Amino acid sequence: MTTREAFLAKVRAAQPEARQRPVVPLFASPGSDLRERFTSALAGMGGACVDAGSAAEVLALIHERFGAQASICSATAEVPGTRALSADTPPASLQDVDVGVVRARFGVAETGSVWFSEQEYRVNAIGYLVQHLIVLLDPAQIVDGLQDVYRRPDFRDARYAALVTGPSATADIEGVLIRGAQGVRSLTVVWLAPQ
């Protein structure tokens, strides 16, 4: 047995036993429209929601807001990008991308968050290094609260997951808020069912 194999055998032997996840109770829902609650919560965090009838409309929105020459990296086949993205794309290569486009698996009305895993991002840096993030979200894929996320099989089965709520922001002690300080400068959710 090589030193590497011996080391890995020790690591495997030291793994803790799998534990049962705790039971998370379901809390009472406010009962209002999920899409309205999602939109309001996201707006409170600096994000925005817009409607689109097609992927072509999404592309037109991107060109209108960020210019026809904006570099676009898309993690979904629905909206074409100007830069290719694959699992082999070096994460650092996304540092000069203007717009990232990603389809969220679902949204959370309680917080205005969108949920991504390695499958949606393809390269996780797309959610953090691009300047502006456009998120496609099927309005039928909104859950009520965070406790509902915990119950979904995608939460259990993903290698990692990210709940993203609005653009990056930071504030100093005097309350001066700066958006895009450590991540995306804007986050726009586009209501669009899969085509």
pLDDT in tens, 36-79: 999 999 999 999 999 999 999 999 999 999 999 999 999 999 99
Residue 52 lies in a domain: yes
Residue 16 lies in a domain: no
Residues of the chain with pLDDT > 90, as a percent, come to 62
- C-alpha 24/C-alpha 27 separation (Å) is 9
Percent of residues in the chain assigned helix, strand, coil, to nearest 5: 30, 25, 50
Q: How many domains does the chain have?
A: 1
Residue 151 lies in a domain: yes
Span 160-171, pLDDT tens digits: 889 999 888 888
Q: How many CA atoms lie within 13 A of 8 on its CB side?
A: 5
Q: Which domain holds residue 126?
A: 46-191
| Sequence-ordered list of residues with C-beta below 8 angstroms from that of 181, at least 6 positions apart, any chain | 168, 169, 170
Q: Which residue has the higher pLDDT, 169 or 14?
A: 14
Please tell me the total number of residues recorded for the chain in this structure: 195
Residue 86 lies in a domain: yes
**Domain CATH code at residue 71:** 3.40.50.10420
- C-alpha 121/C-alpha 83 separation (Å) is 15
Q: Which residue has the higher pLDDT, 173 or 88?
A: 88
* CA-based torsion, 53, 133, 36, 157: positive or negative: positive
Residue 41 lies in a domain: no
Residue 26 lies in a domain: no
- C-alpha 108/C-alpha 183 separation (Å) is 21
Residue 120 lies in a domain: yes
By the 10 Å C-beta count (0-12 exposed, 13-18 middle, 19+ buried), 103 is classed as buried
Span 119-157, pLDDT tens digits: 999 998 999 899 999 999 999 999 999 999 988 888 888
* pLDDT of amino acid 178: 77
pTM score = 0.85
Residue 158 lies in a domain: yes
Query: What are the angstrom distances between the C-alpha of 135 and each of 30, 40, 106, 119?
Result: 25, 16, 10, 14
